[in-house]
Amino acid sequence: MTDNTTIDTARLEQFMGQVVNDMAASMSVMMTDLGGKLGLYKAMAGAGPMTASDLAARTGTHERYVREWLNNQAAGAYVTYHPATDTYELPAEHAMVLAREDSPVFMANGFGTAASMWFGQERIFEAFRTGRGIGWHEQHRSLHLATEYFFRTGYRAHLTTQWIPALDGVEEKLRSGARVADVGCGHGASTIIMAQAYPDSRFFGFDYHDASIATATERAAEAGVAGRAQFAAASAKQYPRANYDLICFMDCLHDLGDPLGAAKHARQAIAPDGVVMLVEPNAGDTVADNLHPVGRLFYAASTAFCTPNSLSQEVGAALGAQAGEARLREIFREAGFRHFRQAARTPFNLILEARP
């Protein structure tokens, strides 16, 4: 050392352990993504202890690669290793997260978001140096797919079972027949889930990204809801003003260059007794409130994806993924909404209700 700083050896060792753990976790993200895409977790789910050869045979993969992968998974406690029989087992609880796509906590397909950061690394470097933005259309397609998969789990579990019922009077309208705009719909996961749950209502998904709109249209046809879920390319300030009973911003307002302009457009597009449902990442109102694992996850995503997308658009407000309820309330009040409240909350999301 060339200065007079006193080093706390115990603290140094503790931090080194944290860094090694983070490095191991970051490299294992690819292993988890691989396990999901090759069907390794699904083959292990409910199967009890199995050898590497058994798993390779079930999945049509090579035993030597599978064994090394299993050892990585055992070291990370994703699977359990039984030394006496040289077998590996996926616990039922872990299968809910890694193998069961209908589970409310399924997350395996969302690991592609981390890989997308590496695909876009050069652009992110340049953005840091220049301050320029990176539009959603410039990101690798793996991000578009991983984002769909990551959020779809939460939407399936909560959107029509908890979030919409938590909005005053909204579910009744949807059951009797309402018009709904899903702004920033991406691949249409939320739009399609609502269309499946409320067949008497009509849903209109809007996104500026043409490729996402094309995918959403395909997803709606596959789900059998194309007649009541339609998609069109339009920005958050350009979609038709059609007296919507419900306007949704699903995990997207903070990504917009002009969130205030989007809120003002929603105020003009909504019916007099309509509701805006704003779903945003769960965040407190200060940085100190967000210094925990979920905050760490969202700040990373915000640095690589959300803030650059906002800075690529007009105004470039760059709210960031951890804007917090107070800042969002301020935006909607300025846009002309008189009523704003938190309707529900999950470990990952804030569900906010705004009314004219």
Per CATH, the homologous superfamily of domain 111-355 is Vaccinia Virus protein VP39 (3.40.50.150)
Domain extents in the chain = 9-100, 111-355
What per-residue confidence (pLDDT) applies to 5? 82
What is the phi/psi pair of residue 315, to 5°? 75, -55
**End-to-end alpha-carbon separation of the chain, Å?**
62
Binned at pLDDT 50, 70 and 90, residue 4 comes out as: low
Q: Which amino acid is at 86?
A: D
Whether the predicted pLDDT of 1 surpasses 50: no
Length of the chain: 356
Percent of the chain with pLDDT over 70: 99
For domain 9-100, give its CATH number from 1.10.10.10, 1.20.120.80, 1.10.110.30, 3.40.50.2300.
Answer: 1.10.10.10
CA–CA separation, 231 vs 31, rounded Å? 35
What per-residue confidence (pLDDT) applies to 3? 64
CA–CA separation, 37 vs 31, rounded Å? 10
The pTM of this model reads 0.91
Binned at pLDDT 50, 70 and 90, residue 240 comes out as: very high
What per-residue confidence (pLDDT) applies to 113? 87
What per-residue confidence (pLDDT) applies to 85? 98
Pairing between β-strand 349-355 and β-strand 270-281 as defined by DSSP bridges: antiparallel
Whether the predicted pLDDT of 2 surpasses 60: no
Look up tokens 């953005």; give the residue: 127
Give me the mean pLDDT over the 273-297 stretch.
96
What is the phi/psi pair of residue 153, to 5°? -60, -50
SS3 254: helix
CA–CA separation, 229 vs 208, rounded Å? 17
Q: What token pair was written down for 171?
A: 């579910």
What's the pLDDT tens digit per position in 55-75? 999 999 999 999 999 999 999
Give me the mean pLDDT over the 94-112 stretch.
92
- Provide the 10 A C-beta neighbour count for residue 272: 7
* Residues 278 and 246: beta-carbon distance below 8 Å: no
What's the pLDDT tens digit per position in 202-214? 999 999 999 999 9
What's the pLDDT tens digit per position in 165-201? 999 999 999 999 999 999 999 999 999 999 999 999 9
Give the DSSP per-residue string, 152-220: HHHIIIIIIIIIGGGSTTHHHHHHH--EEEEET-TTSHHHHHHHHH-TTSEEEEEES-HHHHHHHHHHH
Binned at pLDDT 50, 70 and 90, residue 115 comes out as: confident
